[in-house]
Amino acid sequence: MIHSNGLNKTHCLLLLTVLLILPDQAHALQSHSAPEGIYVHQLAHIFFISALCYLFWDIRRSSFPGKGWRFLQMFCVCMVLWNIVAFTGHSMEAVINASDIEVYSGYLSAKIAGPISPAKIVYYFTKFDHLFSVPALFFLYLCMRSLYRRSCEEEDR
């Protein structure tokens, strides 16, 4: 069976298998060369925050009815918080030294080297940015599901 994008199920299964077998190839990670890369990345966070704030404001101003639009606003709030945490974390990376983080057997075993400073504590807590991004994506899912169901109900009428 051919999908609309031209790939069949075998190709999709093969691609998924390769991605699961070779997890060390994390091409989604990007290191930023100093100093231009981090400046552009930090500006992207600022622009993303601005866009999310505008979207939140526009939804509120327009008074769209329904749960889907409230879920979209909750997505915006969580993503703004994620951007603030990520922006702060990137800023803290410039403050602390590479030797301030001890890595024993991979990323998950990293620990902060003493003495503990406020910058190291802030850096540590910014590594929990997934506490904002995961709920945000869940709210986006709920938003899309709600809007889709509502459009299906309107078509049935």
Tens of pLDDT, residues 91-129: 998 888 888 888 888 767 778 888 888 998 999 899 899
- Using 50, 70 and 90 to split pLDDT, how confident is the model at 145? very high
Cis before residue 23, ω within 30 degrees of 0? no
pTM attached to this predicted model: 0.74
Rg (CA), the chain: 21
**pLDDT tens across 59-91, in order?**
999 888 889 999 999 999 999 999 999 999 999
DSSP 8-state assignment for residue 66: S
C-alpha to C-alpha distance for 81 and 134, rounded to whole angstroms: 12
Is 50 in contact with 33 (CB distance < 8 Å)?
no
Alpha-carbon gap, residue 60 to 78, rounded angstroms: 16
* pLDDT tens-place string over residues 30-57: 565 667 788 888 999 999 999 999 999 9
H-run or E-run covering 112: strand 111-112
Give the Å distances, CA to CA, from 66 to 20, 139, 141, 143, 151. 39, 14, 15, 10, 11
The pLDDT of 119-141, averaged and rounded, is: 93
Exposure on the CB side of residue 96, measured as CA atoms within 13 A: 24
